[in-house]
Amino acid sequence: MAVCLREIVLRGRKQRKESEVAAIEEDTTQELSVGELLERANRDRTSREKAIIVRGLESFSSFSCIRFRPYRSGDREWLNIESRNGCYSYVGRTGGGQTVSLSRQGCLYHNTVQHELLHALGFNHEQTRNDRDNHIRVHWNNIIDDMKYNFNKIATLNQGTSYDYNSVMQYHRYAFSKNNYPTMEPIPNSNVSFGKATEMSKNDIDRLNRLYKCCENQWPP
Ligand SMILES: [Zn+2]
């Protein structure tokens, strides 16, 4: 049922050449698949790179009501998936177009694609959860000074899910370390593995479905 779906709009990245910009703008009246959109809009990426992004985008339809679809005339908010400097996204909607950067250097992994899309969908890093001090000890002295803000706590909602070391939003033990010592350790057992998710966890999926009020039993379609 359509009412159960939440559509997230993707738009072709503007190209350097004017002629290519025009070509993409014209395409917006057509009904492209996500794969076709990326094919046209990311010509500087290889097929393999685009396949990783498409797989990440399409994975959401297998466990949630989120559907990424190409821009249509009249859409007011959309994501531009670009290869800028690094892997990043705003958290949540900013209005109009917003960038999700998946650099060719270091961002083309399934977990990274899901991670950045979850930011755009409104989710913060797991270690910023309001209850993280019960689960993670932050070693501030080991963090690169400019990066300390990544470890600030946020008044997260959590959607009734527990803290999850296997969340795709959880940084790893040495994230932003300036001295090769851990920047985070789990509590109470510091040997517990964390921050190694290769894909979204059950908790990541539950949070997404709760935030977007996905209807139950509507997926896989
Ligand atoms: Zn992130």
Binding residues for Zn(2+) are 115, 119, 125
Is residue 210 one of the residues assigned to a domain?
no
- Evaluate whether residue 216 is within a structural domain: no
Domain span including residue 162: 126-204
> How many angstroms does the Cα of residue 191 sit away from the middle of ligand 1?
23
- Residues 95 and 77 grouped into a single domain: yes
pLDDT reported for residue 71: 86
Q: Is the confidence at residue 48, as pLDDT, over 70?
A: yes
Using the 3D structure, point to which of 122, 157, 172 is the last residue of a domain: 122
Q: Which of 122, 156, 187 delimits the end of a domain?
A: 122
Residues 110 and 130 in one domain: no
Q: At 72, is the pLDDT very low, low, confident or very high (cuts 50, 70, 90)?
A: confident
Q: Which residue out of 31, 36, 82, 116 is catalytically annotated?
A: 116
User: What whole-number distance in Å separates Cα of residue 38 and Cα of residue 47?
Assistant: 10
pLDDT at residue 87 in the model: 95
Return the pLDDT at 13: 57
Mean pLDDT of 1-19: 62
Sign of the C-alpha dihedral computed for residues 81, 165, 198 and 177 taken in this order: positive
- What is the count of structural domains for the chain? 2
The pLDDT confidence band at residue 36, using thresholds 50, 70 and 90, is confident
Residue 116 pLDDT > 60: yes
Say whether pLDDT at 186 is over 90.
Answer: yes
Please report the pLDDT score of residue 56 as a whole number.
Answer: 96
Distance, in Å, from the CA atom of 68 to the CA atom of 75, rounded to the nearest integer, reads 13
* Residue 217 domain flag: no
- Quick check: 138 pLDDT over 70? yes
Ligand 1 center–CA 119 separation, angstroms: 7
Helix (H) or strand (E) holding 79: strand 77-82
- Range of weakest confidence among 45-49, 154-158, 199-203: 45-49
Cα of 115 to ligand 1 centre, how many Å?
Answer: 6
- Is the pLDDT at 144 greater than 50? The verdict is yes
Token pair belonging to 74: 């009249």
Same domain flag for 131 and 118: no
Binding-site annotation: residue ranges: 115, 119, 125
Expressed in angstroms and rounded, the spacing between residue 171 Cα and the centre of ligand 1 is 8
Active site residue 116: yes
79 in a structural domain: yes
Q: Which residues, other chains included, contact 156 with Cβ-Cβ below 8 Å and sequence gap of 6+?
A: 124, 128, 129, 130
pLDDT, mean of residues 88-97: 93
58 lies in some domain: yes
The CATH code of the domain that includes 182 is 3.40.390.10
Q: According to the per-residue pLDDT averaged within each range, which of 21-35, 58-72, 206-220 is highest? A: 58-72
Centre of ligand 1 to C-alpha 53, Å, is 16
Q: Do residues 34 and 102 share a domain?
A: yes
Residue 33 confidence (pLDDT): 79
Residue 88 alpha carbon to ligand 1 centre in Å = 6
Mean pLDDT, the chain, rounded, equals 87
Same-domain check for residues 135 and 102 = no
Does residue 174 share a domain with residue 84?
no
